[in-house]
Chain A
Amino acid sequence: DAKTTQPPSMDCAEGRAANLPCNHSTISGNEYVYWYRQIHSQGPQYIIHGLKNNETNEMASLIITEDRKSSTLILPHATLRDTAVYYCIVRGTNTGGFKTIFGAGTRLFVKA
């Protein structure tokens, strides 16, 4: 599976949009981009995933560039409860895709 690069930390003001970038320049055609987050001491929580098109759900939006080499997770109106570590993961759909590799992620601080 392709590796990802994320900034180690970011700040965001409460109520503003949080835009978390992820670089995955070695992504291959059948690999999806997944985002998870981990609030302090809890197990990771799935947020969203996508292949080519932009995706939106009740938690967030995922914007994937046309060349698929990078993506951005958008939390439209960040709250204090969104303070967490956010993981960007790239994984294929074949059996090797079981080996989901979590990197260090981006620690997002939402400030009042």
Chain B
Amino acid sequence: NAGVTQTPKFQVLKTGQSMTLQCAQDMNHNSMYWYRQDPGMGLRLIYYSASEGTTDKGEVPNGYNVSRLNKREFSLRLESAAPSQTSVYFCASSDVAGGTYEQYFGPGTRLTVT
């Protein structure tokens, strides 16, 4: 199993450009998440999807949109990138809704907005 995969690994955007970060998991997990991590900081939750067909805002949703395409895939879109969105983006997945569960993380996408 590949676990959680993310594409691309690196991306440089100019201010105002748009892009979509892709995430896929092969563990048949119900829930998926997008986090961002700024240098020297902890992770902050952007959006999450408790189950296929649902999405909800996390701590820092402004400037982002998400799509839960199917059970495996959860994408994050930046419509008009800003330098403040320069960060490392991690996707994660977990098994059940509620209950006790651990999250499995992907390797991250390093995004620079100039």
Q: A residues within 8 Å of B by Cβ?
A: 32, 34, 36, 41-46, 49, 51, 87, 93-95, 97-105
Contact = CB atoms under 8 A, between A and B. Distances in A.
Contact of B43 (A34, A44, A51): A44
Contact of A100 (B97, B98, B103): B103
Question: Main secondary structure on chain A at its contact with chain B?
Answer: loop
Q: How large is the interface on B (under 10, 10 to 19, 20 to 34, 35 or more residues)?
A: 20 to 34
Interface string B26-44: 0000010101000001111
Given A43-B105, A43-B108, A95-B50, A49 B45 contact: no
Interface in B61-103: 88, 90, 92, 97-100, 102-103
A41 to B, nearest CB: 7
30 contacts: A36-B103, A41-B108, A43-B90, A43-B107, A44-B43, A44-B90, A44-B105, A45-B105, A46-B102, A46-B103, A46-B104, A49-B100, A49-B102, A87-B42, A93-B98, A95-B97, A95-B98, A97-B98, A98-B33, A98-B56, A99-B45, A99-B58, A99-B59, A100-B45, A100-B103, A102-B35, A102-B42, A102-B44, A103-B42, A104-B41
Contacts of B48: 98-99
B108 A42 contact: yes
